[in-house]
Amino acid sequence: MNIAFIGLGNMGAPMASHLSKQHKITAYNRSPSKTQAWLAQHPEHKTANNAQDACKNTHVLILCVGNDQDVEQLIFGEQGAHLSLTKGSLIIDHSTTSSELAKRMHSKLKPLGIDYVDAPVSGGEQGAINGQLTIMCGGDLQPCEQAKTLTQCYAKSFTHMGEVGTGQLTKMVNQICVAGLIQALAEGINFGQKAGLDMDKVMNTLGNGAASSWQMLNRSTTMIKQQFDFGFAVDHMQKDLNICLNTAKTMHINLPTTKVVSEYYSELQRQGHGKLDTSSLILRLNKKT
């Protein structure tokens, strides 16, 4: 199958690589250097100059980009994908966006005969590399089933959550939970370090008990070593938390912990740490006695 894949960042590039073993890929990234880097490893595939060109002679577009504005521009902007995609085409959007964006794309594409599903992912860069992502998908049943088949090469699980937009709402739940877990882990490690404990031994012990989590098993060692170049960046997490908080506000839902952690991430951004991974929350605590 010919597939257009747009967005070759830390997540998108390995996802496109998995697909390239089974399908013909036309890759496009708004930063040409990322496109060229991907093509250098996959010379049998091709690139395009814009979204419109990328979608010529294809019936599937997969997006993995930054935010609502990126998605809307790539689909409906000048030289957007909708100018090339034909009736019966499918857009699988792995970007993390607002649920309102997903609903809007679906409603605008439906009269064109183009299916759209919101299918955000969880699992981080390593999950993308290992083909072990968790996909939460919102949309009509038939296109979601098609998306499940196409993405199985990089997903360990794929769940149809309901109507369009529910994939994004599920991803918000994920980010709300993750934010609180990272902050709790940071506080626990900081406490143990200042109490003089052997934190490698502590984390190995607790990793087998009730306090265990993906964050503890995968990030505690690097947090202890003050290494923060692994996976999801603060800038991306803060964008996602803002989506969560804005959505919660419109629904009159209180997210007190998420709000506090978002403020902590804003603090790290002001200090120039926006490119560090999300476990860098511990840096705030290390500076305090």
pLDDT per residue over 54-81, tens digit each? 999 999 999 999 999 999 999 999 999 9
Cβ pair 151, 119 in contact under 8 A = yes
* pLDDT given for residue 231 in this prediction: 75
Tens digit of each residue's pLDDT (9 = 90 or more) over 249-284: 999 999 999 999 999 999 999 999 999 999 999 999
Rounded average pLDDT over 232-259: 97
CATH number of 2-162: 3.40.50.720
Rounded average pLDDT over 40-65: 96
Cβ pair 238, 191 in contact under 8 A = no
Q: What type of residue sits at position 258?
A: T
* pLDDT given for residue 286 in this prediction: 83
What length is written for the chain? 289
* Active-site pick, 21, 108, 148, 171: 171
Q: What type of residue sits at position 214?
A: W
Superfamily of domain 169-286: N-(1-d-carboxylethyl)-l-norvaline Dehydrogenase; domain 2 (1.10.1040.10)
Would you say the C-alpha torsion 135, 141, 146, 149 has a positive or negative sign? positive
Annotated active-site residue 148? The verdict is no
* pLDDT given for residue 57 in this prediction: 93
Task: Give the residue extent of every domain in the chain.
Answer: 2-162, 169-286
Q: How confident is the model at residue 288 (pLDDT cuts 50, 70, 90)?
A: low
Rounded average pLDDT over 3-16: 97
Residue 66: other Cβ atoms inside 10 A: 16
- Say what the pTM is: 0.94
Phi, psi for residue 92 in degrees, rounded to 5: -105, 115
Q: What mean pLDDT is reported for the chain? A: 96
* Cα angle value 234/136/4 (rounded, 5°): 85
Q: How confident is the model at residue 289 (pLDDT cuts 50, 70, 90)?
A: very low
Tens digit of each residue's pLDDT (9 = 90 or more) over 80-135: 999 999 999 999 999 999 999 999 999 999 999 999 999 999 998 989 999 999 99
